[in-house]
């Protein structure tokens, strides 16, 4: 059985990559060739929340399992990797080229905390599915109010 690499951590460095993308987009408007760093793309995803779990499904067709990584902490999931470009036809002209290649990354912040010890994942037909067990919500207690 093959496994998808899952790493656990507390912080994801998202701010610097967002800042670079903003600067790059500003200068790209002036000069379309401008590029600060290698451009990343974001795969489409679905998040489904059930009473006991959160299910994340990512559309990443053409990505090899060894080029895919997942990091999880109790508040967020980071899915990243690389889709290698298919060989281009030598004879002919592209009329449409929408498929994005190269590095990709997606950080999803979760509304409910999850148990990082209870995680499963599968990869089939171009879809990555991650199942995360939700931590039990804290119970509320009524507190009697005393006269002063």
Do the domain assignments include residue 16?
A: no
* Number of structural domains found in the chain: 1
Q: How are strands ordered across the β-sheet holding 5-8?
A: 5-8, 68-72, 76-83, 102-109
Do the domain assignments include residue 78?
A: yes
- 71-108, pLDDT tens digit by residue? 999 889 999 999 998 887 788 887 888 888 999 999 99
Residue 13: the pLDDT is 52
Do the domain assignments include residue 74?
A: yes
4 burial type by CB count under 10 A (0-12 exposed, 13-18 middle, 19+ buried): middle
- Tokens (6 digits) for 66: 């060894």
CA angle, 127 as apex, 10 and 13 as ends, to 5°?
25
Do the domain assignments include residue 79?
A: yes
Q: Could you write out the DSSP letters of every residue in 1-17?
A: ----EEEE-S----HHH
Q: Which domain CATH number covers 73?
A: 2.60.40.790
> In which domain, by residue range, is 78 found?
5-10+39-83+102-134
N residues, the chain: 148
Do the domain assignments include residue 128?
A: yes
Which residue from 40, 42, 43 is spatially nearest to 60, judged by alpha carbons?
A: 43
Do the domain assignments include residue 19?
A: no
Is this structure's pTM higher than 0.75?
no
Do the domain assignments include residue 30?
A: no
Do the domain assignments include residue 90?
A: no
- 16-72, pLDDT tens digit by residue? 556 666 665 666 555 544 444 556 789 999 999 999 999 999 999 999 999 999 999
């Amino acid at each position: 059985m093959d496994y998808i690499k899952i790493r656990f951590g507390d912080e994801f460095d998202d701010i610097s990559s967002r800042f670079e993308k903003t600067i790059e987009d500003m200068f790209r408007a002036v000069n379309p060739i401008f590029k600060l760093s290698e451009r990343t793309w974001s795969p489409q995803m679905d998040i489904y929340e059930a009473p006991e779990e959160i299910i994340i499904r990512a559309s990443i067709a053409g990505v090899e399992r060894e080029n895919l990584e997942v990091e999880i902490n109790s508040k967020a999931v980071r899915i990243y990797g690389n889709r290698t470009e298919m060989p281009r036809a030598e004879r002919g002209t592209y009329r449409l080229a929408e498929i994005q290649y190269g590095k990709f990354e997606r950080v999803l912040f979760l509304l409910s905390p999850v148990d990082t010890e209870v995680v499963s994942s599968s990869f089939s037909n171009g879809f990555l599915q991650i199942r995360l067990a939700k931590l039990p919500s804290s119970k509320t207690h009524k507190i009697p109010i005393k006269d002063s």
